[in-house]
Amino acid sequence: HERTSNFPSDLEYQTGFGNHFSSEAIVGALPQGQNSPLICPFGLYAEQISGTSFTSPRKLNQRSWLYRIKPSVTHEPFRPRMPRHEKLVSEFNQSNSSATPTQLRWKPVEIPETPTDFIDGLYTICGAGSSYLRHGFAIHMYTANKSMENSAFCNADGDFLIVPQKGRLWITTECGRLQVCPGEIVILPQGYRFAVDLPDGPSRGYVAETFGTHLQLPDLGPIGANGLAAPRDFLVPVAWYGDGSRPGYTIVQKYGGELFTAKQDFSPFNVVAWHGNYVPYKYDLSKFCPYNTVLMDHSDPSINTVLTAPTDKPGVALLDFVIFPPRWLVAEHTFRPPYYHRNCMSEFMGLIYGGYEAKADGFHPGGASLHSCMTPHGPDTKTFEATIALGNEAGPHRIADTMAFMFESCLVPRVCPWALESPFMDHDYYQCWIGLKSHFSGLSMNEDNVDLQKGKTHRKGEMLIVQLAPVVPPKVT
């Protein structure tokens, strides 16, 4: 059909992050000197899409102008989509999700055998907050095996950050087309209509959704002017449009976590030209320039932040997207894998390909884990023992052929019941730490009785017990 019949592998893109872009599929289709003339070139309709309030500060304001063959308002009334999609959530409370501090891990979910497109294959794992209150996030996964047919999806709740793990995505948006391969990510802003085609058939991946705020590049601080994700490596589509009659075309809109449908007789991808800074975009994770420790200790994972959705509190993220790409480990006299820790942030991890340095077994591409607020986690037993066995003289080591990532949030997630009851839940996850044994050696002393601060020591079996002499406070005159 029109979206895929001429979908080239070498699509053209515009480059940059946060730029003001402009593109036209027909030369002269963009109005000059104003946004909404009385009559637009070629008889097009002018339509604005706003990603922020009109009065947001200029540096934060996001909007684009679209010049289209027919305006998007030309459709029948929205009606609830039947049958209902029971596994999408955008407001997390006790009625639809559970709180659990337990470390959770899921094995890769199998691709369904029945025909399933991106919309039907999308399901929520966990989240916090509310799309109605414009504050919060949701984490979804998807498994699909067929392209969307005569329909487009629109998320009115928030932005989608899609991380494909298996199978390419051909995504058609109102701004143009993007090809997104595993190892790349795509951001589809709130309100944009898009369709997902699957040129490779079976597809699987992860989705983070943010309510009320948009993703941006993190500040670099002491790193300086360069490093991490470079703005020029972000790609934005060029204008492309589909014309002609499309009877029965369906717009599926996600609104408050529920799906609604509206019929229209034309494709929503009828935008001949557009300009603005509120746009879909993609990024190749292999272009990320990681920074790392070069002497001692393991850096905090925040050093690997690709994109962040900030809160009003400086340095606190509603959602960080962090990756663990191929890199060298060179720290001396250091336990190089991620350290054991508890975190006021909550961490959802996924694996695109390869292995993860802190989990030697059980964490596979397409799988996921969740370590919630202040729940302890860290390397498994096998990783710890193998690292210790190398000793202090371990030379430089390259972590190769891997791409893991993390969605991290200051909000405490609630987990959906179908995720907790999933047949792909790894109920033995806790076992990966049970084997950690005590390496405590006590005080090293050769004699059975030692005068220590005028105290006494006694050997009791293999344990050395130290009894210190009582401390007498000085007299006060």
Our count of domains for the chain comes to 2
Neighbours of 367 (CB within 10 A): 20
Q: Please say if the pLDDT value at position 457 is more than 80.
A: no
Do 81 and 168 fall into the same domain? yes
Do 236 and 300 fall into the same domain? no
CA–CA separation, 215 and 211 (whole Å):
11
The predicted structure's pLDDT at residue 7: 79
377 is in an annotated binding site: yes
Do 327 and 193 fall into the same domain? no
Q: What is the CA radius of gyration of the chain?
A: 27
CA–CA separation, 247 and 245 (whole Å):
6
275 is in an annotated binding site: no
The predicted structure's pLDDT at residue 474: 52
Residue 223 token pair: 């790193």
140 is catalytic: no
Nearest residue to 363 via CA among 188, 94, 105, 130: 105
Domain boundary among 239, 256, 285: 285
Q: What is the pTM of this model?
A: 0.91
pLDDT digits (tens, 9 = 90+) for 265-308: 999 999 999 999 999 999 999 999 999 999 999 999 999 999 99
The predicted structure's pLDDT at residue 449: 46
Do 328 and 218 fall into the same domain? no
User: Which residues make Cβ contacts (< 8 Å) with residue 249, sequence separation at least 6?
Assistant: 150, 151, 152, 263, 264, 265, 266, 267, 268
Question: What average pLDDT score do residues 157-177 get?
Answer: 97
Q: Please say if the pLDDT value at position 391 is more than 90.
A: no
Half-sphere exposure of 213 (CA within 13 A, CB side): 17
Do 332 and 278 fall into the same domain? no
Do 201 and 247 fall into the same domain? yes
Domain boundary among 285, 318, 347: 285
Q: Evaluate whether residue 470 is within a structural domain.
A: no
Q: Evaluate whether residue 304 is within a structural domain.
A: yes
pLDDT digits (tens, 9 = 90+) for 344-362: 999 999 999 999 988 988 8
Question: What average pLDDT score do residues 190-206 get?
Answer: 97
Domain boundary among 285, 304, 326: 285
As a whole number, the mean pLDDT across the chain is 92
Do 204 and 339 fall into the same domain? no
pLDDT digits (tens, 9 = 90+) for 301-324: 999 999 999 999 999 999 999 999
Do 267 and 302 fall into the same domain? no
Q: Evaluate whether residue 3 is within a structural domain.
A: no
CA–CA separation, 444 and 447 (whole Å):
10
The predicted structure's pLDDT at residue 476: 55
Exactly one of 1, 20, 135, 298 is catalytic; name it. Answer: 298
Question: What average pLDDT score do residues 325-336 get?
Answer: 93
CA–CA separation, 161 and 164 (whole Å):
10
The predicted structure's pLDDT at residue 23: 98
Q: Please say if the pLDDT value at position 452 is more than 50.
A: no
* Range with the poorest average pLDDT among 79-88, 221-230, 356-365: 356-365
* Range with the poorest average pLDDT among 210-224, 277-291, 443-457: 443-457
Residue type, position 130, single letter: S
Q: Please say if the pLDDT value at position 104 is more than 80.
A: yes
Whole-number percent of the chain with pLDDT over 70: 91
Question: What average pLDDT score do residues 397-425 get?
Answer: 96
Q: Is the CA virtual torsion 414, 420, 426, 429 positive or negative?
A: positive
Do 429 and 404 fall into the same domain? yes
Confidence of residue 442 (pLDDT cuts 50, 70, 90): confident
Give the chain's largest Cα–Cα span: 101
Question: What average pLDDT score do residues 183-190 get?
Answer: 98
> DSSP E strands: which ranges in 198-315?
203-211, 234-237, 245-255, 258-266, 271-276, 281-284, 305-310
Segments forming the whole domain that contains residue 93: 13-285
Confidence of residue 148 (pLDDT cuts 50, 70, 90): very high
CATH number at 251 reads 2.60.120.10
Q: Evaluate whether residue 100 is within a structural domain.
A: yes
347 is in an annotated binding site: yes
Q: Evaluate whether residue 380 is within a structural domain.
A: yes
Q: Evaluate whether residue 446 is within a structural domain.
A: no
Q: Evaluate whether residue 163 is within a structural domain.
A: yes
Distance from first CA to last CA of the chain, Å, rounded?
A: 98
Which tops the pLDDT comparison, 89 or 361?
89
**Angle at CA of residue 289, ends 288 and 295, nearest 5°:** 140
Q: Evaluate whether residue 467 is within a structural domain.
A: no
Looking at the chain, the number of H-run helices and the number of E-run strands are 3, 30
356 is in an annotated binding site: yes
| Secondary structure (H, E, C), 344-395 | CCEEEEEEEECCECCECCCCCCCCEEEECCCCCECCCHHHHHHHHHHCCCCC
Q: Please say if the pLDDT value at position 22 is more than 50.
A: yes
The predicted structure's pLDDT at residue 357: 87
Do 281 and 248 fall into the same domain? yes
Q: Please say if the pLDDT value at position 456 is more than 80.
A: no
Confidence of residue 66 (pLDDT cuts 50, 70, 90): very high
Do 329 and 399 fall into the same domain? yes
Question: What average pLDDT score do residues 45-65 get?
Answer: 97
Do 42 and 169 fall into the same domain? yes
239 in Cβ contact with 175 (< 8 Å): yes
